[in-house]
Structure 1
Amino acid sequence: MAFGSSGPLAKAAMNAGLSPEHVASARVGIAAAVLLIGVCLIKPSILRVRRDQWRLLLAYGLAGVALVQLLFFIAVSRLPVGIAMLLEYTSPVLVAFWVRFVRKVRLPMLSWAGIALAFLGLALVAQVWKSLELDGVGMLAGIGAALCSAAYYLLGERGASEHHPIGMVTWGMVVGALALFAVAPPWTMPYAAVRTTSAFGGAQVPVLALLVTVALISTALAYTLSISSLRHLPSTVASVLALSEPIVATLLAWLMLGETLSPDQIVGMAVLLSGAALVQLASHGPVTPADPLPTD
């Protein structure tokens, strides 16, 4: 739910005149500063990193934080919030393919059935039969966000076994913030727009409040909870359960931004959640190594 709030909050900020790059930079930059200061004051020991662990943290910060946020916000600026988030959350099938064909781990048939059902729901919510009416750049940005989101789950699963979750998220945010500052430096931020208000939920909300909320709730808290879950769930399960986030985003966009839902989209949400539930049920069964793939 914390991740799901990011799209509507960010779109409201962009409606006030901020670019996707500046919203992403502010989101990750504020989250990085709050986490770094808080951890240094409370438990600095969790920030210790061995030299051989930096490659993973750099990849996590660049792909799982900076690129996924930047591409997602570009998609949000050009597409309805729900569709942008649904495109990003095609990542579970990418994670499943990686686990099956790269790690050579066989997933239960119930997992594949759940993934298929989730994507049927995804297609209904996104109304793919109308895809030609959607912005091409926005669609490509959403697909790019999906690739980076898959990397986030795979890298996060590995990193969660080696690092304290809050320590890993803090370093990921710092790396991501530095990368985004190179794209949208803080001194280029249109601060006149930051001092204005934007329509959100039938009220005029300060843009600064929107940015702080998306940084603290939709970023710092959301990433910490997500990485913590990867200590207890495999990436295939965590990524599919995250498909509930587009539903939260779509509902918030409907309630707060007036982006309406059709009957097809409401049915799709129910189908998508059913698929996520199947994957969760399958996670309680055995997961075995796959048979060797043919080499000829």
Structure 2
Amino acid sequence: MSTTALAPVIWGTTYLVTTELLPPGRPLLAAVIRALPAGLVLVALTRRPPQGVWWWRAMVLGALNIGVFFALLFIAAYRLPGGVAATIGAVQPLLAAGLSAGLLGERLSPRTAAAGVLGVAGVSLLVLRADARLDGLGVAAAFGGAVVMATGVVLSKRWTSPAPLLASTGWQLTAGGLLLLPVALFVEGPPPATLTTANLAGYGYLAGIGSAVAYALWFRGIRALPPTNVTFLGLLSPVVATALGWLALGQELSPVQILGGLVVLAALVAAQTTSPARRPAVLTDRSIQGN
């Protein structure tokens, strides 16, 4: 679990890297660079292309975990204050718990449901502001992003890849990046003609650490842990982003935000300490006939 938690911790640094190192107004370009180069490098290094049904499964998982998720995240980020988007996104563990009950046969316990509600409350205290405005399309995009990511996590558990971890990670990053590339070109146009050293360093960090390393850790966690437990770890991202804003950017950290961070950590502990003996066996393709 500890290594899996490093993935959302790394993703929590994305806001700082984006605001301090990347050119402004190019979030889709950043999303493409996060996904596609890292995916192509992993595919080239592992030399293990998908086989059989894994061609379309890799495309579906890449779309859910990377491509569609990043696109919806972009819409939500542009149409909603960050606090609103993060609070809506915090429902992802509850969605994953419900999908796990339907697709994997895991029992949705009252403790898990309570931890999910606690997580949403903690994130709202951490990042939500009283004057936050709502936008219908932005809310739909933020909720849609939570739905597709939760679905991607659960399907990644159900469709256990026979390939090595880095190979299957490369498939998904490549598929998601290829899906995002035409969208980025249509919405934002071609990349900037010139990039500074800081821009290149930021893009390099997002592709190498923020994607290749972080997603390998994330997908490794999905293989080893129940999907609901993995999605709860995602709540660490807004905690890390808020802490870095305070430490590195001098942003104010109020007592309410501190309380919110503690509530999020309490939700994580509650979700991760469910007794393994009470969890049913996870159903996969090898144990489900006709799938």
Pick closer, same or farther for the CA change 1:217–1:166 going to 2, 3 Å: same
For 2:15, which of 2, 7, 12 is the aligned residue? 7
Asked if 1:239 is matched to 2:231, the reply is yes
- In 2, are the aligned partners of 1:72 and 1:88 still within 8 Å (CA)? no
The equivalent residue for 2:182 is: 182
Deviates more, 1:157-166 or 1:238-247: 157-166
Residue 149 (structure 1) aligns with: 149
- Identity over aligned pairs, percent: 29
**Match of residue 115 from structure 2:** 114
Matched AA of 2:24: G
1:70 and 2:71 correspond: yes
Aligned to 2:265: 273
2: CA distance, partners of 1:232 / 1:52: 22
Q: Which stretch of structure 1 is more off in the superposition, 264-273 or 146-155?
A: 146-155
Q: Counterparts of 1:48-87 in structure 2 under 5 Å?
A: 48-77=49-78, 79=80, 81=82, 84-87=85-88
Q: SS at the partner of 1:51?
A: coil
CA separation of 1:251 and 1:13: change in aligned 2, threshold 3 A = same
8 Å contact from structure 1 (residues 7, 73) kept in 2: no
- Structure-2 change in CA distance of 1:111 and 1:219 (3 Å): same
Instruction: Give, in whole Å, the separation in 2 of the partners of 1:172 and 1:227.
Output: 10
Question: Displacement of 1:226 after TM fit?
Answer: 0.5
CA RMSD of aligned residues (A): 2.7
Q: Matched residues in 1 for 2:195 and 2:114: separation?
A: 49
Classify 1:275/1:285 alpha carbon distance in 2 versus 1 (closer, same or farther; 3 Å).
farther
How many Å separate the matches in 2 of 1:165 and 1:99?
A: 22
**Aligned partners of 1:61, 1:29: CA distance in 2, in Å?**
11
Bigger mean CA offset, 153-162 vs 58-67: 153-162
Higher strand share: 1
Shift of residue 283 of structure 1? 4.7
Matches of 1:252 and 1:137, distance apart in 2: 29
Distance 1:89 1:165, change over 3 A: farther
Choose from 29, 34, 41 the match for 2:41.
34
What per-residue deviation string (whole Å, max 9, x for no partner) do you get for residues 156-206 of structure 1?
Answer: 2234453322111101111111111111249943424x524xxxxxxxx71
Matches of 2:88 and 2:38, distance apart in 1:
24
The total of aligned residue pairs comes to: 272
Q: Which residue of 1 aligns with 2:288?
A: none
Decide whether aligned partners of structure 1 residues 84 and 163 sit closer, same or farther in structure 2, where only a CA change above 3 A counts: farther
Higher deviation after alignment, 23-32 or 208-217: 23-32
In structure 2, do the counterparts of structure 1 residues 124 and 17 end up closer, same or farther at CA, with 3 Å as the change threshold? closer
CA distance in 2, matches of 1:170, 1:78: 31
TM-score by length of 1: 0.80
Aligned partner of residue 223 in structure 2, secondary structure: coil
Residue type at the aligned position of 1:99: S
Name the amino acid aligned to 1:108. S
By how many angstroms is 1:240 displaced? Answer: 0.8
Residue of structure 2 in register with 1:93 after alignment: 94
Q: Contact 1:88–1:149 at 8 Å: present in 2 too? A: no
- TM-score for both structures, normalised by structure 2: 0.81
By how many angstroms is 1:250 displaced?
Answer: 2.0
Bigger drift between 205-214 and 3-12 goes to: 3-12
Residues 89, 149 of structure 1: 8 Å contact kept: no
| Cα separation, 2, equivalents of 1:35 and 1:167 | 6
Q: CA offset at residue 101 of structure 1?
A: 4.3
8 Å contact from structure 1 (residues 160, 168) kept in 2: no
Conservation of the 8 A alpha-carbon contact between 1:11 and 1:77 = no
Match of 1:201 in 2: none
Deviation at 1:135, TM superposition (A): 5.5
1:250 counterpart residue number: 242
Structure 2: unaligned runs, 5 residues or longer? 1-8, 282-291
Verify the 8 A CA contact 2:233 2:268 in the aligned structure 1.
yes
Change (3 A) 1:125 1:25: same
Q: Which residue of 2 aligns with 1:215?
A: 207
Partner of residue 29, structure 2: 22
**Aligned-residue offset at 1:114:** 1.8
d(CA) in 2 for partners of 1:286, 1:171? 34
